[in-house]
């Protein structure tokens, strides 16, 4: 399934950022219009690392995942949940 690639990419990138890679979870949902929503969850102590100063890290994660999905003609949204 092609939509697995952005999900695996997000998991890989998040695991590299956090202190507790075992706590990283990515849930995938598809909306009615075909948009893929990826919900990223990390351990409580790692939210700051994933969001970054001024949201820069979160923005970079979203940009990289969207770019990977664009190659597959998919629209992907990344939500960071607690």
Is pLDDT above 90 for 78? yes
Q: How far is CA 82 from the centre of its chain?
A: 13
Q: Which domain holds residue 18?
A: 4-81
> Which residues, 6+ apart, have CB-to-CB distance to 2 below 8 Å?
72, 74
- Which is more confident, 39 or 75? 39
- Could you tell me the pLDDT band of residue 43, with boundaries at 50, 70 and 90? very high
Mean per-residue pLDDT over the chain, rounded: 91
Is pLDDT above 50 for 1? no
- Mean pLDDT, to the nearest integer, of 47-55? 95
Q: What's the CATH code of the domain at 53?
A: 3.30.300.20
* Domains identified in the chain, total number: 1
């Amino acid at each position: 399934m092609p939509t697995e690639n952005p999900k695996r990419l997000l998991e890989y990138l998040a695991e590299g950022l956090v202190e507790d890679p075992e706590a990283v979870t990515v849930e995938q949902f598809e909306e009615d219009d075909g948009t893929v929503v990826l919900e990223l969850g990390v351990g409580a102590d790692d939210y700051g690392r994933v969001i970054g100063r001024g949201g820069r890290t979160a923005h970079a994660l979203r940009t990289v995942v969207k770019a990977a999905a664009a190659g597959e003609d998919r629209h992907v949204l990344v939500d960071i949940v607690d």
